[in-house]
Structure 1
C-alpha cells in the first residue's frame, strides 16, 4: 500500500490534514442535512439519491472551482492528493463496519452457497459482455480491451501496464476506465443500482452480491442505494452480503482478471471486432497518448503512522456526526464504544497486514478481525453487535465518499482527454459487472 506513496513535507502535512478534516466535515454535514432524495420515474420505478452522493458532488465541485475561491476556501492540488491518500485508509473503517455485519450474518450468508461462489464469474465477465460490444459499435479499437476486462482499479492498471505498457491502446483503455470510475463511478452505480432495485426482478441478496465489485467506494454506493429501498432488517442483510461478496472479489479478483477475464476479453475482441467494428465509416481515433506524468494516475502523498491514526480517529468522529444528523442517534457511551470497536478492528487488522508484509490486502485482515468479533459463539458477540449496531454503515460511507469527491479534481485534466466514447464504455462496464454478479447470484439462488 505505501510503496506507491511520495514524501510529504512534515512542516505542512499536519496543517493540510486538519484542512482536509474541515473540508470533509463540511461536505458531510451539508450532505446529511440535505438527506436522501427519491425521484419517481413512473409506476413503481424510482431512483434514490443518498447523502453520500451529495458529499461526493460537493467535494468534486469544490475542488474544481477552487482556483476561483479566496485562499482560505481553496481545496488545492496538495489537499486533493492528501484526500486520495486518506481515502485508502478511511475505507478500512467502512470495511470494519461491514465485517462486523458479516460476522453476525455469516450463517445466513453461507446458505447462499453456490450463489456466493459463482457470482464472481458474473462480476468479471459482465464487464466484457456488456462493455465490449458497445465499445466496438462506437468504433473504439484495442482501447476496448483495457476498458472492459475489469472495473479498472489499481490491480487492473498493474496487469495491463505489465502486459501491454501504459502507452499502448490497452493502457489508454484501462486508464480511461480508472479515471471514469474515480470521477463518475460512485454517482453512476448509485443511480443505476437504485433503478435496477426498483424493477423488483432480483432478490435483494443477489443485488447485494452484485454490489461487491472489488471497489470500496463503488460497493458503498451500490449497497447504499439497494438498502434504501429495503426494510431496516433487510438493509442490514444487504450490507452483509455486499461486504462478503466484495471481500471475495478483493482477495481473488486479481488472479481472476489476470487468468480468466483478460484472456476472455482479448479472445472476444478478436471474434467480435470484425463483426461489430467493420464498416462503421471513418475509424475513430485512438485515445490520445498520455505524457509520462499523466500516466501516473494515483500517486498520493505519504502518511506517517501518527497521521494515519489521527485520520482514523477524525473519520470516526465525522462518522458519528453523520450518524447523529441522519439517524438521530446521540453519540452516547454505547455509540462511542461502538466506534471504538470499529477503530480497534482497523488498528489490529492493519497491524496484522504489516506483520504479514502485505502478502494479503489490508481489507482482508480488517474484515477477518471484525467478523471474528461478531461471529455467533464468540464471547461478547451479542454485546459487540449491540454497540456497533447503533452506527449505520451509511453514516460511515458518507465521509469516505466525501474524501473521494475531494480527490477528484486533480484527475480532471487527464479525464478531459479521454473522450465521450470511452466514458460510455467504462460506465457500461461498471453496469455489466453489477448486473453480471447479480444475475449469476440470482440464478443459483433460484
Structure 2
C-alpha cells in the first residue's frame, strides 16, 4: 500500500529490524536484573515479575521515539515487533505442552468435577464481562478482553486468529496488563468475601480459584484457606492447584473452541442491542489506520517465523541464565526441542489448510514428547526441565512492550473501563467455576 502524499514517510522495517533485536536484548537483561518486586496491598500481595518491567520499558522506548533520532522505534517497527510476537508466542505454547504431557496422569486422576468446572471458568468471563464491556462503549476489543482471563495462552490464540494489531489483540493485551497488575489483589478480596458468605463448599471455592494464573490462584486460595480449619486448608490448596493445572492445560482448548466462538457470537448478538458509543469506543478510522500500517509491514514468511523462534529462544536462554543461574549450554537442548515442536506444529497447521490453529498442533506435538506414550519421555522431561516456565514468558512480553506504544491512544480511550471489565471477567470466572464445581462435588 502506498502512503499518501501528506502522510509521514514510512521507513521499511526490514532494513532496521536489528533495532528491535538490540532493544529486546537490552530490555530483557535489565528486566531480569531488576527481578521480582513484591509489596502488600490491603489483604493481598502484588508481585511485579521481570515480564512487567520488560513490558513497561518497551512501552517507554516506543513512546519517546520522537526524541531519539536515529535510535527511534518507529511506528512501522512497532508493528514489526507485533508481527514477531505472534510466532514467538508459539515457543511459550510449546513449553506449556511439554509441561502438560508429563502431568497427564494427574489430570486424568483429578476427577470429573475438575474437568466440568472449566466450563464455568471460561463461560463466566463472557456472561458477566461482555455485557458490561458493551454497555461501557467498548467495541471489538470486548471480544479479546472477555473471552478468558487473558493470560499467555490467550495472547497466543488471539494473536493467531486476529493478529495482535487488531482491536481484539488490543483487548486481550489490555486484559493481560490489568490482570497482571491488579488481578491477584482483586481476586483475593473477592474470593475472601464470597467465602465469608458460607454459600459454597470450600472445595468448590478452591476449584474456582484455579483461574489459570499462578499468582491469582495463590491469592484466591490463600483467602479461602484463611477461613478454614487446618485440614480443610490443605484440601483447598490441593484442589486449587489441580484446578489451575487443568485450566492452564485443557483450558487452552476450551478457550479456543468454546469460549472464543461464544464471545464472538455474543458480541454479534448483543452489540446491536446494548452496545453504546462513548469516548472509549474505537472508530472505523482507528481500525483503518491500523490496517493501513499493518499492510505496509508484511507478515513473516517461514524464514521470518523461524528467525523469530530462534531469537526468542536465545532471549529465553539469557533470561534463564540471569534469573535461575542455569548455564546457557545446559538450556540449549530444551530450546532445540521447543523449536522442533513449534516447527512440526506450524508445518501441520499449513498442511491441513490452517483449519486447525497452530496453537493446537504445537501443543499436541509438545505434549506427546513428554507423555507416557513417548518412549523417550523421561529423557525429554529432564532436558526440558532445565528452563523455568517464567523465563519463557519474559521474552514474549519484551516484544509485546516494544509493540505496545502504537496502541497507547486506544488504551487511553479504554481507560478505567477496561479495568472494570477485567475485574468483572475475573469475578465471572471464579463464580462460574465455583457454581459448577458445587453442583458436581
Coarse TM-score class (shorter-chain normalised) = 0.7 to 0.9
Q: Please, which of 245, 248, 272 is the counterpart of residue 242 of structure 1?
A: 248
- What corresponds to 2:184 in structure 1? 194
Native 8 Å contact 1:125 1:436 kept in 2: yes
Q: Please, which of 67, 70, 75 is the counterpart of residue 77 of structure 1?
A: 75
| CA deviations over 1:116-154 (Å, ceiling 9, x no partner) | 344234423433425635865xxx469599567636989
| CA deviations over 1:378-402 (Å, ceiling 9, x no partner) | 2010111111011011101000011
2:16 is equivalent to residue 16 of structure 1: yes
Alignment of 1:361-376 (within 5 A): 361-376=357-372
| CA deviations over 1:329-387 (Å, ceiling 9, x no partner) | 1123x421111111111111111111111000100000000000111242010111111
2:305 is equivalent to residue 308 of structure 1: yes
- What corresponds to 2:374 in structure 1? 378
| CA deviations over 1:313-341 (Å, ceiling 9, x no partner) | 11101101101111111123x42111111
Distance in structure 2 (CA, Å) of the matches to 1:98 and 1:223: 13
- What corresponds to 1:280 in structure 2? none
> Which runs of no fewer than 5 residues in structure 1 stay unpaired?
1-10, 161-173, 212-221, 278-282
For residue 387 of structure 2, give the secondary structure of its aligned residue in structure 1. coil
The offset of 1:302, in angstroms, is 1.7
Distance in structure 1 (CA, Å) of the matches to 2:243 and 2:388: 13
Is the alpha carbon distance of 1:180 and 1:23 closer, same or farther for their aligned partners in structure 2, counting shifts above 3 Å? same
Q: Please, which of 382, 397, 407 is the counterpart of residue 403 of structure 2?
A: 407
TM-score of the superposed pair, with normalisation by structure 1? 0.74
- What corresponds to 1:252 in structure 2? 258
Native 8 Å contact 1:335 1:390 kept in 2: yes
| CA deviations over 1:34-70 (Å, ceiling 9, x no partner) | 1111111245x21111110111111111111111123
Distance in structure 2 (CA, Å) of the matches to 1:372 and 1:34: 36
For residue 426 of structure 2, give the secondary structure of its aligned residue in structure 1. helix
For residue 38 of structure 1, give the secondary structure of its aligned residue in structure 2. strand
- What corresponds to 1:127 in structure 2? 126
- What corresponds to 2:51 in structure 1? 52
| CA deviations over 1:387-440 (Å, ceiling 9, x no partner) | 101101110100001111111111223444x35464345434543454356535
- What corresponds to 1:219 in structure 2? none
2:356 is equivalent to residue 360 of structure 1: yes
Native 8 Å contact 1:62 1:75 kept in 2: yes
Distance in structure 2 (CA, Å) of the matches to 1:406 and 1:364: 27
Native 8 Å contact 1:209 1:441 kept in 2: no
- What corresponds to 2:418 in structure 1? 423
How many pairs are equivalent? 390
Distance in structure 2 (CA, Å) of the matches to 1:298 and 1:247: 32
2:355 is equivalent to residue 349 of structure 1: no
For residue 302 of structure 1, give the secondary structure of its aligned residue in structure 2. coil
- What corresponds to 2:147 in structure 1? 150
For residue 210 of structure 1, give the secondary structure of its aligned residue in structure 2. coil
- What corresponds to 2:392 in structure 1? 396
Q: Please, which of 148, 170, 176 is the counterpart of residue 179 of structure 1?
A: 170
For residue 38 of structure 2, give the secondary structure of its aligned residue in structure 1. strand
The offset of 1:12, in angstroms, is 5.8
TM-score of the superposed pair, with normalisation by structure 2? 0.74
